[in-house]
Structure 1
Amino acid sequence: MKHLLNLLAAIALLVWGTHLVRTGILRVFGANLRHVLARSISNRYAAAVSGIGVTALVQSSTATSLIVSSFVGQGLVALPLALAVMLGADIGTSVMAVVFSFDLSWLSPLFIFVGVVLFISRQDTNTGRFGRVLIGLGLMLLALRLVTASTEVLTQAPAVKALLASLSSDRLLEITVGAVLAVASYSSLAIVLLTATLAASSVIPLDVALGLVLGANLGSGLLAVITTLRAAVEVRQVPLGNLLFKLLGVAITAPLVGLWLHHVQPYLGEPATVVVLFHLTFNLLVGLVFIGWTQEIARWVEKLLPKPDKTTSSGRPHHLDPSALSTPSLAISCAAREALYQADVVETMLRGMLEVIKKDDLKLAGDLRKMDDMVDELYSSIKYYLTKISREALGEEESRRWTDIISFTINMEQIGDIIERVLIDIEDKKIKPGRQFSEAGMAEIAELHDRLIDNLRLGMSVFLNGNVHDAQKLLEEKARFRDLERAYATSHLGRLSANTLQSLETSSLHIDLISDLKRINSHICSIAYPILDTAGALAPNRFRQPQKAEQA
C-alpha cells in the first residue's frame, strides 16, 4: 500500500510540476508570446512553425490553443491559419516529451534550489516568476525519477506480476483511458511521460503504452474543447478543428500500431524511447498530412459551429472568455475589449439623449433608459471577471492595466446612471408638461453635447492606447467645459432677467441639465488621470502653498 501511495504521489507531483511550468511561462512571457504568434502567422507553414516554438516553451498545446482561439475570436487570425498553428503546437509538445525522456534527474536539485531562491527573493517580479518555472521543471524531473523508483518496487510484488501477465491489448479501451487521464490531469505531456516511464519499468506492455499515447493525444484535443465550451463560437472553432485532426489521426494510426512495433521498435531500443518517439512520429505525420487540409477542416468546423447573426444584440461577441483566465495578459485584453463595448453602449445613450431633448420622443427615452441596465450588467460582469484574475500573476504593467479597466468601467457605469436620471427629468419636466427650451438655450445644450461626444471618443482612445498627449488634451477639455458651463449658466440667468417665457418655464431643468453634462464630462476626463499619473505628468496637488501665496 505504501509503495502504491508513493507512485500516486509521484504522478501528482509530475502533473503539478507541469502546471507550474505552464503557468509560470505564461505569466512571464504571456504578452510576448501573443505578439510572436500574431506576427508570425502569415501562411500555414509559418503558422505551424510558430506553434511548435511557442508550445515547446509553454509545454502545453492546450495553452497555445486558448491563445490562438482568442485571436480568431477577435478577428485577428483566419481559422485555417489558426488550425495550422495547432498542428505545430502538437508537434511542439511531443518534442518536449522526447527531451524529458532523457535522464536529466541530475538537473532536478539544481533547478529546485535556484528556483526557490529566485522565487522567494523576488517573488513579485519576472525573475521570481522565472524561479517558479525552474521549480516546476525540477519537480517534473524529480517526479519522473520517483515514478521509476516506485514502479520498480511494485513490479516485484507477486500480485502485480500476475496482474501484468494477464493484461491483453484492447486498443479502444487504451485510447479511452489515455484520453480520460489527459483530461483529468490537464496535461497530455504528463501522461505521455508517465506512460513512457511505466513502459520502461515493465509495468505495462509496450503495445498498451502506445494505445495510451494515442488516447493522451486525443484527450488534449478534447480538453481544449471542454475548456472553451462557454466561450464565443469563434473561439470554440479552433479547439474543435484541432480535435477533428486528432480524431482522424488516431483513426488512421490505431490499426498500424502493430506494424510500428514490428518494423520500427527494433531500431529504437529502450521502451521509453519507443513511446516518446511514437508520440513525436504520430504528431509529425498528422501535421504533414493535414497541413494542406486546414481550409477543408475549417469549412467542416464552420458547418458544425456556424457563427451567430451579429445583427442582434444577443449575437454580439462576448469578450470575457473564461478560458483566458489562465493567461493573465490575455484575460486583461479580453476585459479591455468588453470595457470598450460598454463605452459604445454609453455613447449610444449619450447620442440618443439629445434626440429625446429635441424631438420629445418618449419611446426613445424608454429604450435608452433600458440600456442603462445593460451598462450596469457589463460593469458587474467585467468587475467579476477581473476579480478572477490572479493579481499575483500580473506584472507591474498588467496590474496598472487592471486598475485602469476597473476605473474606466466605473466611470462608464456612473455616466449611464446620470444619463438615465437626465432622461427621467426630461420626461417629467419637459415632455409631459409640453415645455420647450428657448432657441439660445437649446443651442447651448447642443454645443455642450457635441463636446461630450468628442471627449468620450477621445477618452476611449486614451483608454485603448494610453497616449500621454491625448490624455493631456482630454484633461484640458475639463477646464474648457467648466468655463462653458459657467458662461451658459450666466447667459441663462440673463434670459431670465429679460423674462423670456421659455427660459422661465424650463429654468430648473436647464440649470440641472448643464450641470449633469459637466458631471458626465468630469467622469470622461477621469480616464486621463491614471495615464498621466503613470507617466509622471500630474502635479502632486492643485493647491497653492500658503508660504508661496504670502510671498506673492
Structure 2
Amino acid sequence: MSTGLFGGLALFLLGMDQMATALKAVAGDRMKDLLAKLTANRFMGALTGAFVTAIINSSSVTTVLVVGFISAGLMTLSQSVGIIMGANIGSTMTAQLIAFQITDTALLMIAVGFTLQFASKRESIRHDGGILMGLGMVFFGMSVMSDAMVPLRSYPPFLDFMRTLENPAVAILVATLLTGLIQSSAATMGIAIVMASQGFINLPTGIALALGANIGTCVTALLAAIGKPRAALRAALVHVIFNLCGVLLWVAFIGQLAAIATAISPTYPSLSGAERLAAEAPRQIANAHTLFNVANTFIFIGLTRQFARLVEWLVPEPPPGAETMAVQAKYLDEELLSTPSLALDRVRLEVLHMGESVDKMMARIMPAILSGNRQTLREIELMDNDVDTLHAQIITYLGKISRQALTEPQTRTLMDLMSAVNDLENIGDVIETNLIVLGRARIAEGVSISEPTRKVLMGFHRAVTRAVSAAVQAVVQNNELAARTVTSMKQEIQRIADSAAIHQAQRLVAEEPNRIPAYTIEIDIIEKLKRIYYLAQHMAKTVASDDTSDFD
C-alpha cells in the first residue's frame, strides 16, 4: 500500500513537472510578452496573470517574471499586485484538470505522448508530446494512489485521522505543511481530490485543505526571494499577505462556499452514500478552489496600492550608503533555468546591468586621463571589479542554461550573448588596464594636454561612448536598428581617428615642452579608443544580420 501511495505520488509529481516543462517551452516566450504588455490597469493585470499562469502552469514563474519587470523599471509594484492576485486564479486550473479524473485513458495518453516526443523530428510536436505524456502520468499517478487507498477504507487509524481533518484548523494546518514540504499546491489538491474520490473526505474538508494549500504555496515564493533584490522580497510578501488575508476571510464561511460549489457542480442523484460522495466531491472541491481565489481577487483588487504601500513599509529602501556589499546580478533567477527562452531574456537584462557599470567607467575615464589625479584613476580602476563580478555571474548562468534542452535558435542566442558579454568585459579591461595606465603616465611625466588636443580627444571619446551605449542597447533589446547604428559608425570613427592622428603629428613638429611624451600618450589614447569601438562593433554584430567587415 505504501509503495502504491508513494509511487503514485512520484508519478503524479513527475507528470506535473514534465507537463510544466513542455508548456513553458511552448508558451514561455509568448506569455512573457503578453505579461509585459497587458498590465495597463489592475483588472487587466489580474486577468493576464491568471491566463499566463494557467498556460505555463506555474505561479512561481509568473512571480519571477513580475520581479524582473519591476527591477527593470518596466512595471510598478502596484501593477504587479494585480498580476500576483491573478496568478492564484490561474493556478487553480490544474485542480480543475485533475478533477476530470480521466484515468481510463492515462496509459494511452502516455503512449501517444511518448511516441510524439521521441519519434517526431519537429520540435513543436515533441513539446506537444511532452505535454500529453505529462498529463497522462498525472492521471496514471492518481489512479495508482487511488487503488492503493482502497484498503484504507477499513483501516481504523487512518479513518480516525480523516475524522480529525473535519476540523478546519487541522485540515488547513496539514495542507499548509504538506504543500510547503513538496512545494506544489497542485499536488496537495491532487491528493485531496484522490481522497475525495475514495470517499475519505467531504466537501468542507476538501475546501479546508485547499485553503491550507494556498498558504503553503507561499513557502515557495519566500524561498525563491531569499538572496534576491528587494523587488523579489516585496513581490513574495504580496503573495503571502494576499493569501493569508484570503484564508482568514473565508475560514468562517467554508459552509457557504461549499453550498455555492455544490450548486454549480454536477450531481449524481442516482448514487448514494460514499459512492455519490466519491463521484461529486472531486469536481466540487476543484470548483470551490477556483471560486475562493476568484472571489479573493475581486475583493482585494481595489487595494493593490495599499498592498504595495504595506510591503514597501515592511521592506523599506536602505538609506543612502547603507549597502556596501559588492555588486550582484539583479535579474538572473535559477527558477527560470527550466524555461531557456525566459532565462536568456534575463541574461539580456543583466547585460544592461553590466553595461551601466561600463558606461560609468566610460563617462569618467577621459576627464580623468586628461586632468584627473591618482585618486580619481584608482576609483575608476576599482569600478572594473563590478564589471568582472557581473561577467563571472552571467557566464556561470549561461553555462547552466547550456545544460538545458535548447533549440537551435536558443543555442545561437546563447553563444551570441556569451560573445557580447565577453566583449563588454574586455571594454572594462581596456579602460582598467590600458587607459588608466596612460592617465598615470601623464601624471608621472608631468604632461599637460593642450586645449585643442583635449577637444579632439573628447570628441573621439564621445563618439566611442555613443557606440558602446548603442551596442549594449542592441544586445539588451535584440535591436537590429541599434546594432546597425554601431556598425555604420565605422567610417565616422575612422575619420575622427585619422583627424586626431594628423593633429598629433602637427603637434609633434611644434616647439612645445614634453611634446614627445605627450604625443606618445595621446596616440595611445586614440588606439585604445579604437580598440573599444572594435569591441562595441563586435557586440553589435551578434544582433545585426548583415556581415559588416571588422574595423581595422
Which TM-score tier does this pair reach, normalised by the shorter chain? 0.7 to 0.9
For residues 518 and 118 of structure 2, the distance between their equivalents in structure 1, rounded to whole angstroms, comes to 66
Give the alignment partner of residue 155 of structure 1, picking from 152, 157, 161.
Answer: 152
Q: Find out whether 1:374 has 2:383 as its counterpart.
A: no
For residues 12 and 528 of structure 1, the distance between their equivalents in structure 2, rounded to whole angstroms, comes to 47
For residues 490 and 527 of structure 1, the distance between their equivalents in structure 2, rounded to whole angstroms, comes to 29
Give the alignment partner of residue 210 of structure 2, picking from 179, 197, 213.
Answer: 213
Give the alignment partner of residue 403 of structure 1, picking from 415, 419, 437.
Answer: 415
Q: Find out whether 1:538 has 2:547 as its counterpart.
A: yes
Give the alignment partner of residue 345 of structure 2, picking from 318, 330, 333.
Answer: 333
Partner of 2:103: 105
Partner of 1:430: 442
Partner of 1:168: 164
Q: Find out whether 1:287 has 2:297 as its counterpart.
A: yes
Instruction: Give the deviation of 1:197 after TM superposition.
Output: 0.6
Change (3 A) 1:162 1:255: same
User: Which digits, 9 at most, give the CA deviation of each residue in 1:117-159, with x for residues without a partner?
Assistant: 332245783332232222211111111111111111x325x5x
> 1:492–1:503: 8 Å Cα contact kept in structure 2?
no
Q: Find out whether 1:514 has 2:523 as its counterpart.
A: no
> 1:17–1:137: 8 Å Cα contact kept in structure 2?
yes
Which deviates more, 430-439 or 466-475? Answer: 466-475
Partner of 1:274: 284
SS in 2 for 1:530: coil
Instruction: Give the deviation of 1:379 after TM superposition.
Output: 0.8
For residues 520 and 539 of structure 1, the distance between their equivalents in structure 2, rounded to whole angstroms, comes to 17
Partner of 1:549: none
SS in 2 for 1:514: helix
One-letter amino acid of the counterpart of residue 95, structure 2: A
One-letter amino acid of the counterpart of residue 4, structure 1: S
SS in 2 for 1:142: helix
For residues 443 and 222 of structure 1, the distance between their equivalents in structure 2, rounded to whole angstroms, comes to 59
Partner of 1:545: none
Partner of 1:142: 140
SS in 1 for 2:434: helix
One-letter amino acid of the counterpart of residue 133, structure 1: I
Change (3 A) 1:441 1:175: same
Partner of 1:415: 427
User: Which digits, 9 at most, give the CA deviation of each residue in 1:368-397, with x for residues without a partner?
Assistant: 111111111111121122222255344444
Partner of 1:526: 538
Change (3 A) 1:17 1:302: same
Instruction: Give the deviation of 1:490 after TM superposition.
Output: 5.7
Overall identity of the aligned pairs, in %:
26
Instruction: Give the deviation of 1:182 after TM superposition.
Output: 1.6
For residues 485 and 304 of structure 2, the distance between their equivalents in structure 1, rounded to whole angstroms, comes to 48
Which deviates more, 206-215 or 193-202? Answer: 206-215
SS in 1 for 2:401: coil
Which deviates more, 306-315 or 106-115? Answer: 306-315
Give the alignment partner of residue 365 of structure 2, picking from 339, 349, 353.
Answer: 353
Partner of 2:476: 464
Number of aligned residue pairs: 535
Give the alignment partner of residue 228 of structure 2, picking from 231, 246, 252.
Answer: 231
Change (3 A) 1:80 1:458: closer
For residues 121 and 404 of structure 2, the distance between their equivalents in structure 1, rounded to whole angstroms, comes to 9
> 1:349–1:371: 8 Å Cα contact kept in structure 2?
yes
Q: How does 1:66-105 map to 2 (within 5 A)?
A: 66-105=64-103
For residues 85 and 517 of structure 2, the distance between their equivalents in structure 1, rounded to whole angstroms, comes to 71
TM-score (norm 2): 0.87
One-letter amino acid of the counterpart of residue 9, structure 2: I
User: Which digits, 9 at most, give the CA deviation of each residue in 1:407-453, with x for residues without a partner?
Assistant: 22211211111111234423442112312245554444333222212
Partner of 1:44: 42
For residues 488 and 264 of structure 1, the distance between their equivalents in structure 2, rounded to whole angstroms, comes to 79
Give the alignment partner of residue 313 of structure 2, picking from 303, 310, 320.
Answer: 303
For residues 476 and 288 of structure 1, the distance between their equivalents in structure 2, rounded to whole angstroms, comes to 53
Change (3 A) 1:415 1:122: farther
Partner of 1:186: 183
For residues 136 and 28 of structure 2, the distance between their equivalents in structure 1, rounded to whole angstroms, comes to 21
Instruction: Give the deviation of 1:499 after TM superposition.
Output: 5.8
For residues 80 and 513 of structure 2, the distance between their equivalents in structure 1, rounded to whole angstroms, comes to 66
> 1:179–1:219: 8 Å Cα contact kept in structure 2?
yes
> 1:52–1:88: 8 Å Cα contact kept in structure 2?
yes
Give the alignment partner of residue 388 of structure 1, picking from 375, 396, 400.
Answer: 400
One-letter amino acid of the counterpart of residue 27, structure 1: A
Change (3 A) 1:354 1:237: same
User: Which digits, 9 at most, give the CA deviation of each residue in 1:179-205, with x for residues without a partner?
Assistant: 222233232112102111112214456
> 1:408–1:527: 8 Å Cα contact kept in structure 2?
yes
User: Which digits, 9 at most, give the CA deviation of each residue in 1:444-471, with x for residues without a partner?
Assistant: 4333222212222222232234444543
Instruction: Give the deviation of 1:259 after TM superposition.
Output: 5.9
Structure 1: unaligned runs, 5 residues or longer: 543-552
One-letter amino acid of the counterpart of residue 49, structure 1: L
One-letter amino acid of the counterpart of residue 420, structure 2: F
Which deviates more, 132-141 or 172-181? Answer: 172-181
For residues 259 and 537 of structure 2, the distance between their equivalents in structure 1, rounded to whole angstroms, comes to 73
Give the alignment partner of residue 126 of structure 1, picking from 112, 115, 124.
Answer: 124
Partner of 1:256: 253
SS in 1 for 2:290: helix
Change (3 A) 1:301 1:374: same
User: Which digits, 9 at most, give the CA deviation of each residue in 1:466-502, with x for residues without a partner?
Assistant: 4445434423433553465456446545544556543
Partner of 1:550: none
For residues 178 and 77 of structure 1, the distance between their equivalents in structure 2, rounded to whole angstroms, comes to 33
Instruction: Give the deviation of 1:262 after TM superposition.
Output: 8.1
One-letter amino acid of the counterpart of residue 19, structure 1: D
Q: Find out whether 1:200 has 2:197 as its counterpart.
A: yes
For residues 515 and 265 of structure 1, the distance between their equivalents in structure 2, rounded to whole angstroms, comes to 78
For residues 249 and 71 of structure 2, the distance between their equivalents in structure 1, rounded to whole angstroms, comes to 31
Instruction: Give the deviation of 1:247 after TM superposition.
Output: 0.9
> 2:391–2:421: 8 Å Cα contact kept in structure 1?
yes
Which deviates more, 254-263 or 57-66? Answer: 254-263
For residues 276 and 78 of structure 1, the distance between their equivalents in structure 2, rounded to whole angstroms, comes to 33
> 2:468–2:536: 8 Å Cα contact kept in structure 1?
yes
For residues 351 and 117 of structure 1, the distance between their equivalents in structure 2, rounded to whole angstroms, comes to 58
Instruction: Give the deviation of 1:80 after TM superposition.
Output: 3.3
Partner of 1:55: 53
TM-score (norm 1): 0.87
For residues 550 and 365 of structure 2, the distance between their equivalents in structure 1, rounded to whole angstroms, comes to 35
Instruction: Give the deviation of 1:215 after TM superposition.
Output: 1.1
User: Which digits, 9 at most, give the CA deviation of each residue in 1:240-276, with x for residues without a partner?
Assistant: 1122121122223233335666897698553323332
> 2:193–2:282: 8 Å Cα contact kept in structure 1?
yes
